[in-house]
Amino acid sequence: MKQQTLKKSYTFTGKCLHTGTTSRIVVSPAPAGSGIRFRRASDGAEIPALACYVTSTARSTTIEKDGFSVQTVEHILSALYGMGVDNAVIEVDGIEIPILDGSARLYVEAFQADGLAEQDEERKYLDIKEEVFVSNETGSWIKIEPAKEPSFYVKVDFSSAVLGVQTASYDADTDYAKEIGCCRTFVFFHEIEYLFSNNLIKGGDVDNAIVIVEHPVSQAQVDAVAAKMGKAGMSVRPDGYLSNLELHFPNECGRHKLLDLLGDLSLAGGRLNARISAYKPGHGINTQAASAVLKVLKK
């Protein structure tokens, strides 16, 4: 298969989840073989989308090189991977990628409308010769096994009566746009106060996150959170979700974890010909796995 890039540039502007600022990005075509790069709008400084530049994974993935830092890169990277874009430049006017609706949907819809441009060079897949396995103290793990084509399987278990155990998968037959790209980020109600107090999710609101109410709460508590997130009149649904939105899928949260994994693992530098299995994935272990793959590929 030939490499692909975008047919034109696309501009996205919106609120940023963690900083609460407004940011603008322009996603543009790039030459064959150049990969995915982030570019600072003010001076043209660039960061290749590689795991060796990851500096933080606190609720999102941040990359940095020579003083140029970009936060929350996972959704746009996932959209580019899922839609088959091999080469692109993401010009950033700000320090964080806008959260938009909490998924990759708006990117996907924009790219789909025009289709992609085929390039002259063959697509290069990353072939590993040995299994890569990473784990951490929380019990999360990711296993990457050599295979003839990419496939992903995730299992999510937060010991939550509301979420239960959720699974999601992706391979060559998956329609990323319909099945993965539209799945939104999520947060537990009991985490919101902590996140606000630690200067995270300053841009969080009920339009860009699924809120899971795991423990009993009063209407007064709901009203207080609703005020911080910009929407009054919410309640807790019988199934344990805040009434700010309707789920696209019963396992939308699991699918969003897969969306994040696709974006974070693309920081290995391309498309892995591998079978990827992940238990309780998150940005920390996702990028740890991408780093481990980079080390194996350098051998």
Instruction: Give me the residues paired with residue 124 across strands.
Output: none
Q: Give every CB contact of residue 43 below 8 A, 6+ residues apart in sequence.
A: none
Supply the pLDDT for residue 200. Answer: 61
User: Where in the sequence numbering do the catalytic residues fall?
Assistant: 283
Which residues pair with residue 212 across a beta bridge?
188, 241
Q: Which fold has domain 2-124?
A: Ribosomal Protein S5; domain 2 (3.30.230)
Q: Are the C-beta atoms of residues 87 and 37 closer than 8 Å to each other?
A: no
Averaged over successive runs of 10 residues, the pLDDT of the chain (299 residues) comes to 97 88 96 98 97 94 97 98 98 95 97 97 94 96 97 96 97 97 93 70 71 93 81 89 92 98 97 97 98 93
Q: Distance (Å, rounded) from C-alpha 100 to C-alpha 205?
A: 11
Phi, psi of 54 (to 5 degrees): -70, 130
287 contacts 264 by C-beta, under 8 angstroms: yes
* CA gyration radius, the chain: 19
pLDDT for residue 20: 80
* Contacts with 255 (C-beta within 8 Å, 6 or more apart), sequence order: 166, 168, 179, 180, 183, 249
Q: Is the pTM of this model over 0.85?
A: yes
pLDDT value of residue 197:
64
CA distances from residue 36 to 13, 29, 31, 112, 206 in whole angstroms, order as listed = 20, 10, 10, 18, 31
Question: Could you please report the per-residue DSSP string of 232-280?
Answer: -S--B-TTSBBTT---SSTTHHHHHHHHHHHHHHGGGTSEEEEEEEEES
The answer to whether the beta carbons of residues 67 and 77 sit under 8 Å apart is no
Cα 179 from chain centroid? 14
Give SS3 for 110.
helix
